[in-house]
Amino acid sequence: MEARFLLLGLGLLLLLAAQHTPAVAVPGPECQTKCGGLDIQYPFGIGGNCSLSKRFNVSCREVQHGVYKPFINDVELLNISLINGTIRAMNHISTYCYNSSGLMDRHTWQFDASHSPYRFSDVQNKFTVIGCNTLAYIYADSTGTGYQSGCVSTCQNLTDLADGSCSGLGCCQTAIPKGMGYYEVGFDSGFNTSQIWNFSRCSYAVLMEAEAFNFSTTYISTTKFNDTNTGRVPVVMDWAIRNGTMSLACEEAKLNKTGTYACLSSNSMCVESRNGPGYLCNCAEGYKGNPYLPDGCQDADECKNSPCPSGGVCHNTEGGYWCSCHAGRKYSKQSNTCSPDTSLIIGVTVGFLVLVIFFFFGHILLQKRKLNQVKQEHFREHGGMILFERMRSEKGLAFTVFSEAELTQATNSYDKSKIIGKGGHGIVYRGIVKDNMHVAIKRCALINERQKKEFGQEMLILSQINHKNIVKLVGCCLEVEVPMLVYEFIPNGTLYELIHGKNQALQISFSTLLRIAHEAAEGLNFLHSYASPPIIHGDVKTANILLDENYMAKVSDFGASILAPSDKEQYVTMVQGTCGYLDPEYMQTCQLTEKSDVYSFGVILLEVLTGQEPLKLDGPEMQRSLSSNFLSAMKENNLDAVLPSRLKQQESYELIRGLAELAKQCLDMCGINRPSMKEITDELGRLRKLSLHPWAQIDAEMETRSLLSGSSTATFEMEGATSGYPKQEGESLPLNMNPSSSYYAR
């Protein structure tokens, strides 16, 4: 036959028929791994040194403008399967056509892959013949002495045909044997269609993938079948690691001294080829990936598609998995089910009944003892005994211990109208205790070990402090379930409210703000330098600087404070504070020092200078931090960019520049470079003198009188004022909370 010389199949795999396989090498990162949307997986590869051998080379060709497809020699590649050891390629259809006067055209094809890694799949392919008077042959070798078979397709008229049926009427299919690496098509010229060419003048024959074919009656009356994919259809070929005519079995390949064993992954295994000589590589059970690459087989997570029964729990392991069942059920590996664990249920039931009886009688006994010891128990739970002993030995008992009845009476049984502050962790009430003293009573809403520790710590710290610029602890109550602290009542809110909040409308002078900041610095300086032992506040911010009836600053909230340790290792603590004020060095090292308070005070100076909040969560990301914006402006010598116009018009440049330089020193990233609170206090005192010229002193006195006279107005109603007191134990603002909320609402 003339078409035998076309030899498309021979050309397909001649390039793959090298007689010697080089030592196994893995593809480099420069190798192309995809063509036309198809993953080219090793041992196949595109380009030199990218495949296991030349027989697995794939070329990526442009078939249309901008459209690329993979080819093995001249045959288009559709798919590669490492698991099944198959490829799908496009195979040409052989045709045999007549007209009324005789033979019109003939095209027959042959494949020769006998000396390559490929064999035609006997499982997925069938020799398919279409026609109404057709006998086509398939040969397994070019000599005709090997395997050969044929398939006959006939029909009398088109009504005999049925879509989907390929049983000899218009269509015929036959299987092929294993090991075929060559096939050739031939037509019997005795089956002449010239007499019925009016509805079936052509016959077709091809070895193709069975699942890709579904007979249609239109294939007889038209050339549609031959036009499909330009006369090509898919064929499946099994491939294996073969070395020409010398194909090794698995055990021989493992012992081969030429270094060509292809299963490189440590979790791979060798599998004998099921179609012809040679072997394949698969990942071991419980692994997936490419076994032809070093470390190509990785653990497969079987639990993604859990094989365990309903109600079971899958646990993935390296190379496998195991199943368990929920409490009260037992897993059976044989039946893969979770069944009730009767022995466990009986044991738990009996144990539960015993425990119920035991706790019932135990509860009765405990209740009898608790009725007489409840107040002592509360006192002990809050660490009262240990705390009092320590305070007596160090400073003496410097505050009043209130009874529960006294505080209940002072707050009119905790009437809602007495609430002056409320937050998620507690409530602050205003009350009047003996001697007609106005106080603020703070009661925790929640109790846990951390809050108990902070409660005792705050009480210990405040009991040792007596300074005009630090809020005074009047006493405490420990005999209740929820511990309480009693403070002096501070009526005029906080510095935060004065700058940003409800009292902002007062439009106080800059010199008054500077005085309040100076007084706050004196309070902190006392904690750092004169308290024994020194005290680190830990949560310095404008919301913790309270203003008394004379608008004098009072530093408050010692829930995050610590006594200055003598051993540096004791500095390590859990980071807490308020976002926008936190010392970056403290956040990185978890070491709270006096210089951490200095950094936070530097942010307060910025609020006084600029009137802006330390953190703007709704602004541009690069402009949210007040301290970052300020330091950037100072670095660019552009301080005016962050200052309000009113301040620049009313205050001297020397005062503004001096306060800005002080704030810059406080905000130094390295704590050792920051000034001490003593140095800050002295510098603020010097700067205040700059602002208090004779005319400024007169204005400041008038403003102070105005503030004092207005404190009883509706702006500062005593019953409704939200005075700033130390928040509940352990109630320091989380880092993600907005510090603009009122003091008691935190």
The stretch 467-488 carries a mean pLDDT of 84
Q: pLDDT value at position 732?
A: 34
Single-letter residue type at 428: V
pLDDT digits (tens, 9 = 90+) for 528-567: 988 777 888 888 999 889 999 899 999 987 766 666 665 5
Alpha carbon dihedral 658, 659, 662, 663, in 10-degree steps, equals -140
Has residue 200 got a pLDDT over 80?
Answer: no
Question: Which of 249-258, 319-328, 405-414, 677-686 bottoms out in mean pLDDT, i.e. has the lowest?
Answer: 249-258
What is residue 5's DSSP assignment? G
Q: pLDDT value at position 315?
A: 92
Handedness of CA 398, 404, 410, 415 (dihedral sign): positive
pLDDT digits (tens, 9 = 90+) for 665-686: 999 999 999 999 999 999 999 9
Q: pLDDT value at position 563?
A: 66
On the CB side of 29, CA atoms within 13 Å amount to 0
Rounded Cα–Cα distance for residues 231 and 624 (Å): 68
Has residue 462 got a pLDDT over 80?
Answer: no
pLDDT grade for 250, boundaries at 50, 70 and 90: confident
Order of strands across the sheet that contains 232-239: 45-46, 57-64, 67-72, 75-81, 86-92, 232-239, 118-120
Q: pLDDT value at position 24?
A: 62
Q: What 3-state class would DSSP assign to 324?
A: strand
List Cβ neighbours of 46 (8 Å cut-off, separation of 6 or more): 31, 32, 33, 35, 40, 57, 58, 59, 60, 70
Beta bridge partners of 206: 128
The stretch 110-127 carries a mean pLDDT of 88
Q: pLDDT value at position 729?
A: 35
Rounded Cα–Cα distance for residues 415 and 420 (Å): 11
Has residue 14 got a pLDDT over 60?
Answer: no
Tokens representing residue 225 in the block: 């079948």
Q: Which residue has the higher pLDDT, 459 or 404?
A: 404
Question: Which of 7-11, 355-359, 436-440, 671-675 bottoms out in mean pLDDT, i.e. has the lowest?
Answer: 7-11
Distance from chain centroid for Cα 421:
38
Question: Which of 59-73, 229-243, 330-344, 384-398 bottoms out in mean pLDDT, i.e. has the lowest?
Answer: 384-398
Residues across the chain: 746
The stretch 463-484 carries a mean pLDDT of 82
What are the angstrom distances between the C-alpha of 383 and each of 351, 391, 394, 457, 744?
36, 12, 16, 10, 26
pLDDT grade for 277, boundaries at 50, 70 and 90: confident
Rounded Cα–Cα distance for residues 461 and 471 (Å): 11
Beta bridge partners of 325: 312
Has this prediction a pTM greater than 0.85?
Answer: no
No. of H helices and E strands in the chain?
Answer: 18, 36
Rounded Cα–Cα distance for residues 82 and 307 (Å): 24
Q: Which residue has the higher pLDDT, 306 or 389?
A: 306
Return the biggest CA–CA distance within the chain: 133
Are 11 and 59 spatial neighbours (Cβ–Cβ below 8 Å)? Answer: no
Tokens representing residue 431 in the block: 């009350």
Nearest to 722 by CA among 470, 468, 434, 502: 502
Tokens representing residue 234 in the block: 């898919």
Which architecture does CATH list for 384-488? 2-Layer Sandwich (3.30)
Q: pLDDT value at position 731?
A: 35
Nearest to 458 by CA among 426, 496, 430: 426
Single-letter residue type at 19: Q
The stretch 80-90 carries a mean pLDDT of 93
Q: pLDDT value at position 126?
A: 96
Highest-pLDDT range among 83-87, 389-393, 723-727: 83-87
Q: Which residue has the higher pLDDT, 146 or 526?
A: 526
557 labelled catalytic: no
Contacts 24+ apart (CB under 8 A), 225-231: 225/93, 225/130, 226/93, 226/95, 226/202, 229/90, 231/92, 231/93, 231/95
In the chain, where are the structural domains located? 91-235, 259-293, 301-349, 384-488, 495-716
What is residue 672's DSSP assignment? G
Binding site membership: which residues?
A: 442
Q: pLDDT value at position 566?
A: 55
pLDDT digits (tens, 9 = 90+) for 281-291: 999 999 999 99
Annotated active-site residue in 112, 238, 539, 597: 539
Q: pLDDT value at position 554?
A: 93
pLDDT grade for 82, boundaries at 50, 70 and 90: very high
Tokens representing residue 210 in the block: 């069975």
Binding site membership for ATP: which residues?
A: 442
Number of neighbouring beta carbons within 10 Å of residue 299:
17
pLDDT grade for 520, boundaries at 50, 70 and 90: very high
Tokens representing residue 63 in the block: 């078939």
Highest-pLDDT range among 161-175, 348-362, 504-518: 161-175
pLDDT grade for 87, boundaries at 50, 70 and 90: very high
| DSSP class per residue in 569-608 | GGGB----S-TTT--HHHHHH-B--HHHHHHHHHHHHHHH
The stretch 106-112 carries a mean pLDDT of 80
What are the angstrom distances between the C-alpha of 40 and each of 51, 60, 305, 349?
10, 10, 27, 61
What is residue 623's DSSP assignment? G
Are 537 and 581 spatial neighbours (Cβ–Cβ below 8 Å)? Answer: no
Q: pLDDT value at position 378?
A: 65
Strand pairing class (75-81; 86-92): antiparallel
Per-residue HEC secondary structure of 14-43 comes to HCCCCCCCCCCCCCCCCCECEECCEECCCC
The stretch 336-350 carries a mean pLDDT of 83
Rounded Cα–Cα distance for residues 710 and 722 (Å): 16
Q: What 3-state class would DSSP assign to 498?
A: helix
Tokens representing residue 695 in the block: 């005319």
Q: pLDDT value at position 228?
A: 61
| DSSP class per residue in 724-738 | ----STT-PPPTTS-
The stretch 171-198 carries a mean pLDDT of 82
Q: pLDDT value at position 370?
A: 65
Single-letter residue type at 373: Q
Q: Which residue has the higher pLDDT, 257 or 462?
A: 462
On the CB side of 177, CA atoms within 13 Å amount to 12
Has residue 735 got a pLDDT over 60?
Answer: no
Q: pLDDT value at position 598?
A: 96
List Cβ neighbours of 540 (8 Å cut-off, separation of 6 or more): 524, 555, 581, 597, 600, 601, 604
Residue 73 region by backbone torsions, left for phi larger than 0, else alpha for psi between -120 and 50, else beta:
left
CATH for the 495-716 domain, from 3.30.300.30, 1.10.510.10, 3.90.1150.10, 3.40.50.2300:
1.10.510.10
Has residue 59 got a pLDDT over 90?
Answer: yes
The mean predicted confidence, pLDDT, of the chain is 79
Question: Which of 52-61, 103-112, 180-189 bottoms out in mean pLDDT, i.e. has the lowest?
Answer: 103-112
Asked whether the bond before 43 is cis by omega within 30 degrees of 0, the reply is yes
Rounded Cα–Cα distance for residues 531 and 636 (Å): 40
pLDDT digits (tens, 9 = 90+) for 716-725: 222 223 334 4
Number of neighbouring beta carbons within 10 Å of residue 417:
11
CATH topology classification for 301-349: Laminin (2.10.25)
Q: pLDDT value at position 244?
A: 55
Is 495-716 the same fold as 301-349?
A: no
Q: pLDDT value at position 256?
A: 72
Nearest to 684 by CA among 498, 514, 553, 530: 514
Q: pLDDT value at position 223?
A: 67
What are the angstrom distances between the C-alpha of 173 and each of 102, 165, 169?
27, 10, 11
